[in-house]
Amino acid sequence: MSQTLILWIVGAWFVIFLALGQSVSTVLFGSGLVGVTLWIGSRVFDGIIGPDIFYTASIYSLSIVPLYLLMANLLVRGGVVIDLFRVGHKLSGYRRFPLGVATIITGGLLGAVSGSGSASAAALATLAAPELERVGYTRRFSVGLAAIAGSLSAVIPPSLIVIIYGSLTMVPIGHLFIGLLGPGLLCILVYIACLRVFGEVRPGVADGVRGDEEEDPAMMRRSMHAAIFIFALMFVVFGGIYGGVITVGEAGAIGAFAAMFGMIAMRRVSVKDILAALGDSVKITAMLMMIVIGAQIFARFLAFSRLPSELVKLMEPLLDSPEILIAMMMALFFVAGMILESAAVIVLVVPILLPLLKAANIDLLWFGVMASFMIALGLLTPPVGLSAYAASTAARFPVGEVFKPATIFATVAGVVVTAVMILFPGIVTWLPSHIN
């Protein structure tokens, strides 16, 4: 069988089964096995495929995933989403624009304790959208802003996308986490500027209206304590990494333990909640591990087929113009992020592009932050913007309407933040270069 025909068969297998609704991990695993079998034969299974699976499952950098997931699940089950927004609502003075800013910042804070943009968007759509609508924003814009704020979970560390990228490229995950801080904060500022410029307000609605309910002082104190705990937890986790006091794995363990201890001390979780958080963490970790293992088998087929090497030869004229090459890659990540789940994009695209990145001498740390940011924008844009779908489902509002404000914010942020990272790469690399 000709090599060209094998490539067509594997490509057709991948596209057809993905279109039929198979999980990404199954599609990657199946197409990789078919490709290796047709290219080399089944004799390689015992000598290569088995050890590949074992090696991938035992990568140290992936072992920290359940720790950060456990921390996030415990905090979410402890109700910190409600507390963070309640504090932001209070500090905003119940006024329209400050409340919108508080929603965006709350999404950023949730990103620092949660790796799921969809979960954050759904929580904010349930909690923040009604308040935003009451102070004068349209319902479409209120739900859209909840999706926008929730998507920050993919940009603000600790991001599961970044952990997987680091495990594939051997870039230190601690450096990636710290490198995300500058672009993440810039993205928040761009979203706040977009809120001022593109905010949709219903005419005739007074600003600064609190509503009829009475504020419970005890509840507000409880929320303040939870918010202070979150800030302290962030300082310990990221301050420890940046100061060189603890590794990323140790930071995840400390964060998970502190989250459990804090939620128990504040009587936020029960034994049932802890067991449920452990179960959810294991399920999500298993899902991510299956995607990474499937990607490893598919990458083995790519290595046998020498497709990445051929791609380097094809793109050789562009190696002297890395700006054009990077623009093409960012467009690829953006489009892929619109269609596929974020983790699947990383494990599918990075092994193909890695030889090209090395040949062009592109900083893998800087590129990883850029790629993560572009994938995060795909959470807001059609046809498969997961944050937009999560917010619209939680708010029971048509997703087509949510996509309109979300796409505007994503487009502006994509242009501004990407341009700044290209023109001033130090916004990504400066902080990691000072890690002890």
Asked whether residue 189 carries a pLDDT value surpassing 90, the answer given is: yes
Distance CA 188, CA 252 (A): 24
Distance CA 157, CA 339 (A): 23
Q: What pLDDT digit, counting tens, does each position of 202-222 carry?
A: 887 766 655 545 567 778 888
**Mean pLDDT (whole number) for 8-28:** 82
For the entire predicted model, the pTM comes to 0.81
Which pLDDT value is given to residue 192? 92
Q: What pLDDT digit, counting tens, does each position of 53-95 carry?
A: 777 777 777 778 888 888 888 887 887 777 877 787 777 777 8
Q: Which amino acid makes up residue 11? A: G
**Mean pLDDT (whole number) for 247-274:** 87
Distance CA 405, CA 408 (A): 5
CA atoms within 13 A on the CB side of 432: 23
Q: What pLDDT digit, counting tens, does each position of 378-414 carry?
A: 778 877 677 888 888 888 888 888 888 888 998 899 8
Q: What pLDDT digit, counting tens, does each position of 226-245 carry?
A: 888 888 888 888 788 877 78
| Tokens matching residue 77 | 């089950």
Asked whether residue 193 carries a pLDDT value surpassing 90, the answer given is: yes
Which pLDDT value is given to residue 194? 92
In degrees, to the nearest 5, what angle opens at C-alpha 389 toward C-alphas 370 and 378?
Answer: 15
Distance CA 346, CA 342 (A): 7
